[in-house]
Amino acid sequence: MNPITNPFAPGAGTPPPELAGRDELRKTIETAIERNKRGFHSKSILMVGLRGVGKTVLLDRMQTDAREKSILTMRIEAPERRSLPAMIVPQLRQSLLELSRTEKVKDYSQRALRGLRGFAKALKFKYEDIEIGFDQNIEPEPGLADNGDLEHDLQALFEVVGMSAKQAGTALVMFIDELQYVPEEQLEALITALHRTSQLQLPVMLVGAGLPQLAGRMGRAKSYAERLFDFPQIGALPPEAAKQAISKPLAQQHVLITDEALDAIINITRGYPYFLQEWGKHAWDIADYSPITLEHVNQATIEAVAALDESFFRVRLDRLTPHEKKYLMAMAELGAGPHRSGDIAEKLGRRVQNQAPIRNQLILKGIIWSPNHGETAFTVPLFDEYMRRIMI
């Protein structure tokens, strides 16, 4: 069939043609944002899940939903080597400039901009990656968010920003992806600032996403985090939603798929959204006619696995040291997991204590996580199968 009209386009954060199975979560977050805007208590929300389950896509769609309701939004992806202040400052500046165009909140937003300038100036020496330009007419307000202490200053900054949003009759919602990469002391400051705005009933809210270890990191940063946030688990799609993610885009292109072929895709991909897109794409490209059959899917599997091995899986493996790769190979030989750390060490012929630094580095790199104390699992679905393929 014509590759130009192929509805499936797998990629990092690329929206699928059909966002199936996530309506309830979208409604939950929409309600929380609206409550926050109206001054009612609502928890911030952090979506956690493995790679390839569609967290980034959801985050982007939820931001679009919020903006359509005139909510002020910020969108940040937290890289591994950049500070939280460096990411927040330019986004907040943009949001405050947007607010300042409204005459009735101009004084509030201008004060918030002065606070933001003082915040950036005071922390520039501590976090050397802060680079932001301000209008020369905006001077810092002495004593406002300029102590040089992140936890104290971020609280003060969020307060004046929250007052601006409240006066404008809107809310500021920060959409932050890959939150697991933010250092713990910076997470602590973020949690404290959000806690303060919640106490003051100011409309500032976080909708974030990260790998499964994020919930534990937030709890270690502040013990009350579990009362400040909800942590919905984002996983594979249930069978009916997974089928809809494939069949509906095909139907929109007047292409059918046999039940046998559809069941095969669901079984192979186990309902993981990214993999569904890969199999859908390759099944379309291979099929010369409608309907797509089991034979087409079997051929597509060869192509899809090769594509995943060269990109989705390999890009993660290439970042690792030889010792880290050996650790993952031992995990893969034990199966999908989770596995006891002792079993992995035994497979390697080493003591658990000797392997702890390697395990910690793999967790920091986002390759594995610990579902429970002493357990280890892959953050990437089907990664064990990939490791066994390349070990042959």
Tens digit of pLDDT for each residue in 228-264? Answer: 999 999 999 999 999 999 999 999 999 999 999 999 9
Per-residue pLDDT for 136 more than 90?
no
Within 10 Å of residue 159's Cβ, how many Cβ atoms?
A: 20
* Weakest mean pLDDT among 93-107, 121-135, 342-356, 358-372: 121-135
| Structure tokens belonging to residue 114 | 């002065």
Inter-residue contact 189 to 225 (CB < 8 Å): no
pLDDT at 106: 82
> Is pLDDT above 80 for 301?
yes
For the beta carbon of residue 243, count every other beta carbon within 10 angstroms. Answer: 20
Mean pLDDT over each residue of the chain, to the nearest integer? 92
- Domain-wise residue ranges, the chain: 23-230, 237-301, 319-391
Residue 135 — very low, low, confident or very high, per pLDDT cuts 50/70/90? Answer: low
pLDDT at 367 over 90: yes
State how far the Cα of 343 lies from the Cα of 334, in Å rounded to an integer. Answer: 8
CATH superfamily of 23-230: P-loop containing nucleotide triphosphate hydrolases (3.40.50.300)
More confident residue, 107 or 294: 294
So what's the pLDDT on residue 134?
66
Q: Are 270 and 381 in contact (CB under 8 A)?
A: yes
Eight-class DSSP state of 292: B
Fold of 237-301: Helicase, Ruva Protein; domain 3 (1.10.8)
What is the per-residue pLDDT for 274? Answer: 95
Give 319-391's CATH code, choosing from 1.10.3720.10, 1.10.10.10, 3.40.50.300, 3.40.1390.20.
Answer: 1.10.10.10
The confidence score (pLDDT) of residue 1 equals 84
Span 119-136, mean pLDDT?
79
Percent of the chain, pLDDT > 90? Answer: 75
Average pLDDT on 163-191 reads 94
In order of 110, 177, 231, 361, 374, the CA distances from 323 in angstroms are 53, 29, 33, 11, 20
CA-CA distance, 310 to 46, in Å (whole number)? 31
In this prediction, residues 335-357 reach a mean pLDDT of 92
pLDDT reported for residue 203? 96
Q: Measuring CA to CA, which residue among 166, 164, 59, 68 is closest to residue 108?
A: 164
Question: Does the pLDDT value for residue 386 go beyond 80?
Answer: yes
pLDDT in tens, 7-59: 998 987 789 999 999 999 999 999 999 999 999 989 999 999 999 999 999 99
User: What crossing angle do the helices spanning 341-348 and 322-334 adopt, rounded to 10°?
Assistant: 110
User: Per the structure block, which two tokens stand in for 224?
Assistant: 């009350």
Distance CA 378, CA 362 (A): 10
Asked whether 189 and 157 are in contact (CB, 8 A), the reply is no
Question: In whole angstroms, what is the distance from residue 165 CA to residue 108 CA?
Answer: 9
- Sheet order of strands, 339-340 included: 339-340, 375-378, 368-369
List, for residues 313-336, the tens digit of each pLDDT value: 998 899 899 999 999 999 999 998
Query: Does residue 103 carry a pLDDT above 80?
Result: no
% of the chain exceeding 70 in pLDDT:
98
- pTM of this structure: 0.90
Q: Is the pLDDT of residue 191 over 90?
A: yes
